[in-house]
Every structure is written in structure tokens, then in C-alpha cells.
Amino acid sequence: MMPSHTVRILVATQPVDFRKGHDGLAAQVASVLKEDPFTGTVFLFRAKRADRLKILFWDGTGLVMAYKRLEESSFTWPAVRDGVMTLNRAQFEALFAGLDWRKVKALEIRRPAAAE
């Protein structure tokens, strides 16, 4: 379920009502974030309680939603403000694991030089 290196990963910086399901979060993406929920972009949502997150993305056949609650700690979230923030895959994986994603820097991906 982890996104590929080329997929966009966006974090909604405002907490959302976690009673929202697939359709409610897709509406939030369209109306508040001004994004298209059906592009394959991965959207992360936070609850008021920092120990919960929801993930929403379109896989080509339907909307997929995942929910995670940390048992003994909380997620490190960006500052609460209006809008959306982009994460790279390494930062997403750190956040999802409950680590401090701000300390993660992805390596620059380069094509290997041709061997001579």
C-alpha cells in the first residue's frame, strides 16, 4: 500500500472530523484543498488527537481509505494552518511509522552513468 516514488503525497494541515468516510474526505479534498481526489494523489488527514491519521487515494478502480492509530505515542504533524503540505515518500514512511518525518531527507534519485 505504500506509494511509489513518483506519486504525490499531500497532508491536509487542518484536523478533520474523523467520522468522515470515503465520500466525506473526497469532498474535503475537492472543496477545502482544491485538489482532485481521483488522480492517484495520496491524501493524509489528521484528527484533533495527534495519534490518528487517515489516508485516502484513488487506485483506478475505487477510493481506498486507511486508518491508523498509534497506541503509545503520537504522530509528528506539521503546524496547524490552512492548506496542504507535500511530503516525499521517505517522509511519508517516517510519519506513518510514528517517527519524526522532519528529520528525514530523501536521497536524490539519479540515473546511473553509463559504464564505459
For each of the chain's 116 residues, which pLDDT tens digit applies?
Answer: 555 567 899 999 899 999 999 999 999 999 999 999 999 999 999 999 889 999 999 999 999 999 999 998 899 887 777 788 899 888 899 999 989 888 887 667 777 887 65
Place of cell 481521483: 38
Query: Which stretch of DSSP H or E encloses residue 96?
Result: helix 89-96
Beta carbons within 8 Å of 64's beta carbon, 6+ residues apart: 1, 55, 56, 57, 58
The helix/strand/coil state of 33 is coil
